[in-house]
């Protein structure tokens, strides 16, 4: 039995399509043996009612308000618990703001688990070059370089989670749900925990991801803090593993991506640069050259960014810094990337992202020595 989990908060405009497409996927690929579960954060726009009124034919659905710290992680934990009580073989998590979801996504995100070929499935999307900036500039290169598993969307939002994986997550100390894992730290926590625990991890080609995109300079600061704080905490927890990991291998991809183009995304470049310049603080563990570069131009190049990320991780380990102080450097890195890739196709920009990953790999030994 498959549980399709849809966390939500004020997503009345989009959740109906997600539910109806997911139901079609369950009918087509799993003979209808599944249930749709909406875990909501107290929406005021009729999200739950819209979900329950969606046309899902014979597919059962349930909606409830989760308990705990408000956030995506708390919503997903409630779905883990529901799946465990139901004895589900797999959970397919879908973001409630998806506009590109297709019925075959259900097969890609659950099929390899049901067949015994995977325990955890991360999404593999075609995304616009300016979508997923937290993924592109820190989660993808850091996770891949640290743990030796090249996984393109470790915080993609849409996942397949097998019984072995969700049971593992529920066995973790309950205190973890009082941290940023209960918020937007959940995705990087699930992915890293799966890798570090030796679970069978694959990626599912899902084609293009179209959703409610947010401008990094205007909307993503809280998410950045929650995700990166969790990533750094996981480095401390799993330091023996990543320090002994050598090389890097691509996590297998299931299926092929359709030949489609992602929607155009606009980024307010000047706002990013201005915020970086105005908000950066003097920090004694960041080189004066990098600080001056951010303060004067509002950008950081690839090498400066890798050094900055590593320096923050080291200082975080000593409990001497809040990740919030890293935000201006994040703005500066995204601004630098936007400047460098203007006029490039998404495919060409991907080469720049890969070069950045290579720099993280090259600097790993230095990180280990400094750690």
Task: Identify the CA nearest to 148 among candidates 204, 205, 112, 198.
Answer: 198
Return the domain boundaries, the chain. 2-254, 269-370
β-strands 90-93, 2-8 pairing = parallel
Question: If you average pLDDT over residues 21-31, what whole number do you get?
Answer: 98
274-301 CB burial, b ≥16 within 10 A, e <16: ebbbebbeebeebeeebbebbbeebbbb
The CATH number of domain 2-254 is 3.90.550.10: yes
DSSP 44: S
Q: What is the pLDDT of residues 283-331, one digit of tens each?
A: 999 999 999 999 999 999 999 999 999 999 999 999 888 999 999 999 9
pLDDT at residue 263 tops 90 = no
Q: Which pLDDT tens digit goes with each residue over 38-59? A: 999 999 999 999 999 999 999 9
With beta carbons less than 8 A apart as the criterion, state whether 137 and 334 touch. yes
Q: Could you tell me which residue, 218 or 105, shows the higher pLDDT?
A: 105
pLDDT higher than 70, residue 3? yes
pLDDT per residue over 185-231, tens digit each?
Answer: 999 999 999 999 999 999 999 998 886 655 555 557 899 999 999 99
pLDDT the model gives residue 221: 87
């Amino acid at each position: 039995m498959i549980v399709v989990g849809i966390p939500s908060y004020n997503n009345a405009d989009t959740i109906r399509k997600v539910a109806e497409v997911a139901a079609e996927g369950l009918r087509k690929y799993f003979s209808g043996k599944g249930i749709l579960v909406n875990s909501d954060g107290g929406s005021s726009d009729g999200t739950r009612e819209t979900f329950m009124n969606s046309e899902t034919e014979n597919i059962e659905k349930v909606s409830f308000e989760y308990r705990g710290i408000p956030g995506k992680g708390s919503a997903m934990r409630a779905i883990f618990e529901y799946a465990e009580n139901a004895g589900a073989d797999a959970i397919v998590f879908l973001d409630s703001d998806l506009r590109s979801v297709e019925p075959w996504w259900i097969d890609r995100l659950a099929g390899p688990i049901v067949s015994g070929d995977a325990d955890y499935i991360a999404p593999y999307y075609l995304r616009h070059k300016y979508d997923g900036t937290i993924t592109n500039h820190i989660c993808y290169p850091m996770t891949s370089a640290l743990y030796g598993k090249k996984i393109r969307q470790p915080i993609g939002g849409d996942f397949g989670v097998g019984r072995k994986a969700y049971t593992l997550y529920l066995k973790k100390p309950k205190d973890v749900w009082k941290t940023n894992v209960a918020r937007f730290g959940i995705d990087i926590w699930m992915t890293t925990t799966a890798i570090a625990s030796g679970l069978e991890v694959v990626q599912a080609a899902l084609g293009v991801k179209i959703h409610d995109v947010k401008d990094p300079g205007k909307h993503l600061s809280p998410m950045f803090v929650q995700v990166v704080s969790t990533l750094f905490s996981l480095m401390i927890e799993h330091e023996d593993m990543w320090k002994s990991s050598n090389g890097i291998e691509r996590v297998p991809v299931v299926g092929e991506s359709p030949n489609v183009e992602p929607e155009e995304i606009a980024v307010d470049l000047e706002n990013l640069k201005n915020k970086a310049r105005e908000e950066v603080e003097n920090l004694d563990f960041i080189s004066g050259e990098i600080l001056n570069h951010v303060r004067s131009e509002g950008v950081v190049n690839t090498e400066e960014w890798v050094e900055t990320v590593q320096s923050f991780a080291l200082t975080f380990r000593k409990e001497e810094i809040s990740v919030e102080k890293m935000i201006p450097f994040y703005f500066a890195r995204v601004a630098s990337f936007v400047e460098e890739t203007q006029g490039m196709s998404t495919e060409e920009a991907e080469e720049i992202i890969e070069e950045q990953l290579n720099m993280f790999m090259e600097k790993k030994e230095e990180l280990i020595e400094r750690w």
